[in-house]
Amino acid sequence: MQVRTRHTPSYGVARLMLAPGEPVRVESGSMLATSYGVTVESRAQGGFFKSLARSALGGESFYVSTYTAPQQGGWVDVAPTLPGDLNVLELDGRVGWCVTKGCWLASASTVQVETQWGGFQNLFGGEGGFLTRLSGHGSAVVACYGALDVVTLQPGEYITIDTGHVVAYADTVQSQLRQMNQGVAQSLKSGEGLVFDFAGPGQVLTQTRNPRGLVGWLRANGLGPRS
């Protein structure tokens, strides 16, 4: 599979170029268009209980769609729900990636897509207790809300990132979740809640906009659902 992106960085679309008979896994609902003759099958990824956890706790779709090219080859266009940039991860079989809620878009059939428990702290942080873990060989496409920044950490180098701005990180990176300020009162005053501390070596992908901020703005202006 080869990936060609267009309309980046604001309204990214990825075209997945497939060899004859080649399949590709796509997040349910992300397909924009396909060449004629491409077939699709949607099924629970990793079985019923893993798919249920992925949907209910990870914030992802219960089903994953597999598109397969006909004998002459073909393509599939995919696009995320929110406007923003795309990034293509090239997995080499050695370094895996952890992808946060709503950011995985598609990957080659040679890439393993698993649901990984990120701990109760992540769940309380509002990002979902489960992460999508990618491993194996091949290309994977992740999406972000807003522009994408790639932070490359050297061994022993640290960075602190708000949970809502984390897109993905290599599994060579160490991470911990903590409260930005001591005490609830201080968090309310600053508007900051939980953050991730990352330690290198490895890369962390971040997004310049926070989906939670969009939801809050819509609610404040009477444009979104109220809980």
pLDDT in tens, 141-180: 999 999 999 999 999 999 999 989 999 999 999 988 888 7
Domain contains 226: no
- pTM reported for the whole predicted model: 0.83
Is position 97 within any domain? yes
Q: Predicted confidence band at 54 (pLDDT cuts at 50, 70, 90)?
A: very low
User: Looking at the domain assignment, is residue 23 inside a domain?
Assistant: yes
Q: Is residue 51 part of a domain?
A: no
Say what percent of the chain tops pLDDT 90. 62
Taking 50 as the threshold, does the pLDDT of residue 126 lie above it? Answer: no
Evaluate if residue 129 carries a pLDDT over 70.
Answer: no
Checking if the pLDDT of 1 tops 90, the result is: yes
Q: What is the 3-state secondary structure (H, E, C) of the chain?
A: CEEEEECCCCECEEEEEECCCCEEEEECCCEEEECCCCEEEEEECCCHHHHHHHHHCCCCCCEEEEEECCCCCEEEEECCCCCECEEEEEEECCCCEEECCCCEEEEECCEEEEEEECCHHHHHCCCCCEEEEEEEEEEEEEECCECEEEEEECCCCEEEEEHHHEEEEECCCEEEEEECCCCHHHHHHHCCCEEEEEECCEEEEEECCCHHHHHHHHHHCCCCCCC
Residue 198 confidence (pLDDT): 96
Residue 6 belongs to domain spanning:
2-46+59-221
More confident residue, 111 or 116: 111
The answer as to whether 52 is a domain residue is: no
Our count of domains for the chain comes to: 1
Question: Which CATH number belongs to the domain containing residue 13 in this structure?
Answer: 3.60.160.10
